[in-house]
């Protein structure tokens, strides 16, 4: 097997209400994040009660998660940028250390 070259990056899992999706992706685009994955219709429990993920008529009402892998310094900038948002809204950001093989995919 070929030797793989691992690089460390941060994984951000940004959970927020679907109505703010455009805001969050705009922020990531502005930060220079090159790609992200969006998971819609999350179910789960938080401080506001249980969120159902099956609503058909109202996409703004469901929770979504945006996953992005970014270099460490960028992760800090993004967290600083999200701070004013999360002081007004529910939701969380999980930050974790991960490793990727093709670093070129994750830096702008």
Partner 1 sequence: MSLSKGQRLSIRSMIYVASEQIPFFWPMRTFIHHNPLHGMEDLPFEQAVQEGKRLLHGRVFLRRPIYQMYLQQGKVDKHNLTSQVATYVAKRDAIPGIDLQQWLLALLTQTEQKVIFKHDVASIEDVQAAVNDQKLPVDNSFMPDKLLPHLRHELLGDRPVYDTLDALYGTEIGNELDELVIKSCLDFFDEGQSVWSMPGRKRGFFSAWREIANRNIRLYLRGMDIKDILAVDDSPEGVIAHVMKTLGIPEERWVHYFTRELAQLHGWTGFIRWRWNAKNYYWSKTHPADLIELVAIRLTFALALLSERQSERGRNDIATTAPAIEDAIENSTMETYLRYELFGKTILPAMAKRVEQALARGKASQIEKVFYEYIQFKRQHEANTQADRLNTLANRVNQLDALQALSADDFSHLLDSLRMFEFCEGMFWLRAMEASAINKLLAGVNLAPPESRDKRPFVQAMFCIDTRSERIRRHLESVGDYQTYGIAGFFGVPMSFMELGKGSEMHLCPVLLTPKNLVLEMTVADAEDLHAVTALEKAVHELKESVFGPFVTVEAIGLLFGFDMVGKTLMPQAYNRWRKRLHKKKRSTHFLIDKLSREQADSILRTVQRAVIIMAVEQDFALEAERICDDMIRELREVALGRSFGAPTLSSTLSLSKQQEQEFILRLRETYRIDTAYTQLQMERLGRIGFSLDEQVGFVSQALRSIGLIKDFSRFVLLFGHGSTSENNPYESALDCGACGGNHGQVSARVLAQMANKKEVRRKLRSQGIDIADDAWFVGAHHNTTTDELVLYDLDHVPSTHIFYIDRLRTGLLAASHLCAQERLPSLQLKQHDREPTAAYREIERNAMDWSQVRPEWGLSRNAYIIIGRRDLTKDMSLDGRAFMHSYDYRLDPNQRLLENIITGPLVVAQWINMEHYFSTVDNEKFGSSSKVYHNVAGRFGVMTGGLSDLRTGLPSQTVLDKGLPFHEPLRLIAVIEAPLEHARRAVESVITVKTLVINDWIRLLVIDSEKQIVYTYNSGQWDEQPLSDTNKSSLVKEFSTQ
**Which parts of this chain interact with partner 1 (CB under 8 A)?**
22-23, 26-27, 30-32, 48-52, 54-61, 74, 76-85, 87-89
CB of 69 to partner 1, least distance (A): 17
The sign of the torsion formed by the CA atoms of 98, 12, 15, 67 equals negative
Q: Tell me whether residue 5 or residue 40 sits nearer to partner 1 (CB atom).
A: 40
Q: Looking at residue 100, what DSSP letter applies? A: E
- Whats the size of the chain, residue-wise? 108
Q: Tell me whether residue 83 or residue 97 sits nearer to partner 1 (CB atom).
A: 83
Q: What is the largest CA-CA distance in the chain?
A: 50
Q: Tell me whether residue 5 or residue 90 sits nearer to partner 1 (CB atom).
A: 90
Side-chain-side CA neighbours of 47 within 13 Å: the count stands at: 5
CB of 24 to partner 1, least distance (A): 9
CB of 5 to partner 1, least distance (A): 27
Residue 81 token pair: 């940028």
């Amino acid at each position: 097997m070929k030797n793989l070259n691992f690089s460390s990056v941060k994984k951000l899992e940004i959970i927020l209400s679907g109505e703010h999706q455009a805001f969050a992706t705009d922020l990531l685009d502005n930060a220079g994040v090159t790609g992200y994955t969006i998971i819609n219709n999350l179910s789960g429990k938080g401080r506001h009660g249980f969120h159902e993920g099956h609503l058909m008529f109202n996409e703004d009402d469901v929770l979504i998660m945006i996953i992005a892998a970014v270099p460490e310094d960028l992760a800090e900038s993004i967290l600083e940028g999200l701070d004013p948002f999360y002081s007004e809204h529910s939701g969380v950001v999980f930050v974790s250390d991960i490793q990727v093989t093709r670093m070129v995919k994750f830096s702008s």
